[in-house]
Amino acid sequence: MAKQRGRQQTARRRDRGKPATGGRRKPCQFCRDKIDVVDYKDFGMLRRAMSEKGKIRSARITGSCRRHQAQLALAIKRARELGLLPYVSER
């Protein structure tokens, strides 16, 4: 019984400073708007998925599903190749 109490206390000590991560994941913006294909010409949408430095944000941050995140990355790469988006931001 003493061993169990000790294990519970150490688990509480480990988790003391961490925030609670419970809750639901937000739905994919593209699935919610019923967008089948991400368009490389839609700058506003592509800019939201890029950081200030010009990097592609992860799906965890953008909140998009796996399918749309892959399409989003491909659309950003296409827009960069055509010169519609910069590879790196201005310093």
Q: Is the residue at 31 inside a domain?
A: yes
Q: Is the residue at 18 inside a domain?
A: no
* Residues 51-77: tens digit of each pLDDT: 999 999 999 999 999 999 999 999 999
Q: Is the residue at 78 inside a domain?
A: yes
Q: Where are the alpha helices (DSSP H) in 1-91?
A: 2-14, 29-32, 43-48, 59-62, 66-81
Q: Where are the alpha helices (DSSP H) in 15-58?
A: 29-32, 43-48
pLDDT of residue 18 exceeding 90: no
Q: Is the residue at 6 inside a domain?
A: no
Mean per-residue pLDDT, 44-52: 92
Q: Is the residue at 1 inside a domain?
A: no
Number of folded domains in the chain?
A: 1
Q: Which domain holds residue 40?
A: 27-91
Give the pLDDT confidence score for residue 90 in this predicted structure. 73
Q: Is the residue at 49 inside a domain?
A: yes
Mean per-residue pLDDT, 22-45: 88
Q: Is the residue at 41 inside a domain?
A: yes
